[in-house]
Amino acid sequence: MKKIFAMALAVSLIISSFAGCSNTSAQKSIKEAKVEYQEKLLDDTRVHNINVEIPQDDWNELLKNPLDKTKYKVNVTVDGEKFSDVSFATKGNTSLSQIASDDSSNRYSFKINFGKYVDGQNYYGLDKLNLNNIMSDATYMKDYLSYDIMRETGAAAPLTSFVNITVNGKAWGCIWLWKM
């Protein structure tokens, strides 16, 4: 039943977009209000790179106790540009608990806060960033496409982009980031 509802909703959204709803005033104002981080990091025409530099003891602690959501002070390099003293923590509730209880994976979702430790620090106007592990989606595309369809119809939806994340230079995986 859920699949039928989801399919019907997707088809209805696609039909609405072809019926002219993509030119709503809400969508126009979103396009006009673009900020610099949208063009830099939420450009979905390529896969971006984020490296998190975290002391090994802190990383081990995060992996050992992910449900604590401890905020660690790290350095983050986004597409070659380094930011120091950034907050880094696991994120989620049910999804975090699900991964934490799975002995075969520790691929968590993360939250980055550029201004937690340095007042006013941001990534071209972006103060917080969510990195989702997309573990429940073997295609890595369901949420991305859903949000894209919503935006095309003029509905408010998070901006998204794919990111290759590394931790201390070691591959962590391809994930997607989003910003409301």
Give residue-wise pLDDT tens across range 110-166: 999 999 999 999 999 999 998 888 777 777 788 888 888 998 999 998 888 888 999
**Nearest Cα to 43, choosing from 161, 149, 142?**
161
Domain boundaries, the chain: 2-179
Mean of all residue pLDDT scores within the chain? 79
Q: What is the pTM of this model?
A: 0.75
Neighbours of 112 (CB within 10 A): 24
